[in-house]
Chain A
């Protein structure tokens, strides 16, 4: 404990040295975590990720469930919704200081990285049995819960993957009968849809995680491996360069993405462009609550798989990643029993049905699928992508560093593309080589 307390001071010190008064980011987490000690024993702190239209919207969605949990068990849950841009850093700060929440959401791609810190309670078979056993959980989602051969570091609660959302009205106005099936069709459709202040497709160009996810998906399509057999990063391989260029070219060459999207960073703006009709297509995970808030129905928009690559290209037939949210318990939590009860509640059939229905995501437990709400065409499409053509990100300890380094490099590339810098292979390669070097220097 002493050591951990010193740890807080140390991190604070390192950052004050640079006079980095990183207000909300580190200090905030320490304070928020304080409740584990100070409050009554029957209180949990829960950090939720931003799944809805806004942080507030998430609170409205989750609070009734938390109230239900309190009624059932007498355990009060203090909820804090953490924006995506801050979540990983806050988890790191909480890990360093040992002053974190009791239970928290993590992006499932970070599982192996966070597992390496040893901050979370591992879900061995005995513990898993308390929430219904391993068999209850969906295979692909369970594959993204940590390094192979180790007990899961967190349990999946929302299953997701990427799909191509398209605006039916804008498509028919442009005389396009159905969503694109190949990448060339997507570009051609995008060009038809781009006119005036309407654009073919929206991207979140300054969002580190969105960029990294697309780097991975298109990397798979080109047959790129982010790490070689010995675990060394190879972010600047020619295949990965081609993959990232394919994505950037939507803005730089084909001009079907609004250059302003290079400023979009908080993970909601591209979705807003889609729901407000400013952009006709969007490659994204579930957006059910956002479309509902915008008054869009199945009449207005549809979902198709992101076009698979031409098999002749030589890559993998992948058009999505195993995305989703996992739920973890902090080892430092003083309320392990209460935390376990809460995880049990969150993975129960009823809660799974209610929350996944609202968020438009996929339940991660098999018994939740008897609800007709999960038989809609849109959910079926997502289910099929997740089950057949989605690949999990590498479950290695360095995964988060890949996301941050390559995602950040792509922010800069989008910024350059937006201001008219030609995006050549050499240019993309040089940026990725930098990311690669930083990874090696840091590791």
Chain B
């Protein structure tokens, strides 16, 4: 199968003609410029243009990351908080504690990691499935399509806090809407209402809320991807006698593959790292059954006021995500070039 890859990379000669204006008032500057070879001048322009972005990227992402890695080798407790450069170095001991799965710290980190893996797989799968279904079903024009599309995007457009806090009210045991409906429908006994925010059910609640929040993103991107599939492909296949299902399998899904590759990766990273949803839904200490890793790390840093150990856990998480992402990208792009 062949793919049309739309390239947005600017051609190398795109900057031509943007050289410095030469004129009398600029004689001195012009002389300096003149010493720089023309080729170099042309080459450097794009870099100059992205320089501010690179500096900001360094400041906002890379510097804190490096400092975070440095912190993970320190014993950064309350005694050094005000002047944490004075915190003593402890080598790898923060890491040793984090991966010592026999200890309370390590075993709870492992537990939280496994919970997060299961949670991420389920959430990404469900969000992707719903998003794809929604996008495919909305592909053909029908009355009310615009309204439905807008409606589907509401969870994504709502501020996280507003959306999730409403869920947490609805899921409360005594006064929540969910239990009220369950009791009205006689699915639950009024005297023994189920808990949704603590205990085993909290895991289900978390998945439902997260899927509710993330599937519109998959829907939005896949819908955009569908616009790019030329209509004559469907017409041609229809003439060849392909039905809806056949079209979906042989045209829609293969054509969407590059989009899917990105959507699944982004959903995975977002979901795995999700902090806001569990934090707003459960508060500071999430129930064990729904103890996602980002909130677990946050909680264990503040619980003992040892930010070095929290940083070590964060670095481990970063490494894990890097490895998964690289494997994923290598695997998916190989498949693409094989095809």
Contact = CB atoms under 8 A, between A and B. Distances in A.
Interface of A: 3-4, 6-7, 9-23, 85, 88-89, 92, 95-96, 98, 113-114, 116-119, 206, 208, 258-260, 262-263, 265-266, 397, 400-401, 404-405, 408, 411-412, 415-416, 418-419, 433-439, 441-443
B14 to A, nearest CB: 34
Given A10-B68, A418-B199, A438-B104, A95 B82 contact: yes
B276 to A, nearest CB: 6
Nearest to B288: A412
Contacts of A397: 78-79
B67 A10 contact: yes
B78 A419 contact: no
Nearest to B285: A408
A208 B309 CA distance: 22
Chain A CB within 10 A, most for which of B67, B103, B288, B318:
B67
B298 A118 contact: no
Contacts of B285: 206, 208, 408, 411-412
Contacts of B113: none
B82 A13 contact: no
B317 A18 contact: yes
Nearest to B291: A412
Interface of B: 61, 63-68, 70-71, 77-79, 81-85, 97, 103-105, 108, 161, 172-174, 195, 197-200, 273-276, 279, 283-285, 287-288, 293-295, 297-307, 309-311, 313-315, 317-318
Contacts of B66: 13
16 contacts: A11-B307, A13-B63, A13-B67, A15-B298, A19-B273, A21-B275, A22-B298, A85-B283, A92-B302, A119-B82, A259-B173, A266-B283, A415-B195, A434-B108, A442-B105, A442-B306
A94 B105 CA distance: 26
Given A419-B195, A434-B108, A442-B77, A19 B304 contact: no
Contacts of A415: 195, 198-199, 287
Contacts of B199: 415-416, 418-419
Contact of A113 (B78, B198, B273, B307): B78
A94 to B, nearest CB: 10
Given A404-B302, A405-B304, A17 B105 contact: no
Given A18-B273, A18-B293, 20 more contacts: A9-B64, A13-B68, A14-B67, A18-B275, A18-B294, A18-B297, A20-B273, A20-B298, A22-B298, A85-B284, A117-B78, A119-B81, A263-B172, A404-B304, A433-B104, A437-B103, A438-B304, A442-B105, A442-B304, A443-B77
Q: Decide if the interface of chain A is mainly helix, strand, loop or mixed.
A: helix
Contact of B103 (A7, A21, A113, A441): A441
A400 B306 CA distance: 12
A4 B84 CA distance: 8
Contact of A96 (B81, B303, B318): B81
Closest 5 CB pairs of A and B: A442-B304, A13-B64, A19-B273, A17-B314, A437-B104
B54 to A, nearest CB: 17
A260 B171 CA distance: 12
Contact of A92 (B81, B83, B279): B81
A438 B100 CA distance: 12
Contact of A9 (B63, B284, B305, B309): B63
A263 B168 CA distance: 11
Contacts of B299: 408
Contacts of A15: 298, 314
A89 B46 CA distance: 44
B104 A14 contact: no
Contacts of B65: 13, 16-17
Contacts of A433: 104
Contacts of A265: 283
A17 B315 contact: yes
A308 B89 CA distance: 48
B305 A118 contact: no
Nearest to A401: B304
A129 B183 CA distance: 64
A262 B105 CA distance: 24
B68 A14 contact: yes
A23 B274 CA distance: 12
Chain A CB within 10 A, most for which of B77, B108, B283, B285:
B285
A401 B303 contact: yes
Contacts of A92: 78, 81, 302, 305
Chain A CB within 10 A, most for which of B77, B275, B305, B309:
B305
Nearest to B270: A19
B289 to A, nearest CB: 9
A92 B63 CA distance: 22
A411 B291 CA distance: 13
Contacts of B198: 206, 262-263, 415, 418-419
Contacts of A259: 173, 195
B83 A3 contact: yes
A17 B84 CA distance: 18
Contacts of B82: 4, 95-96, 98, 117-119
Contacts of A442: 77, 105, 300, 303-306, 309
B63 A18 contact: no
A24 B97 CA distance: 29
A3 B174 CA distance: 49
Contact of B305 (A266, A400, A412): A400
B216 to A, nearest CB: 19
A286 B109 CA distance: 39
Contacts of A116: 78-79
B84 A10 contact: yes
A419 B288 CA distance: 13
B55 to A, nearest CB: 15
B284 A208 contact: yes
B303 A438 contact: yes
Contacts of B287: 412, 415
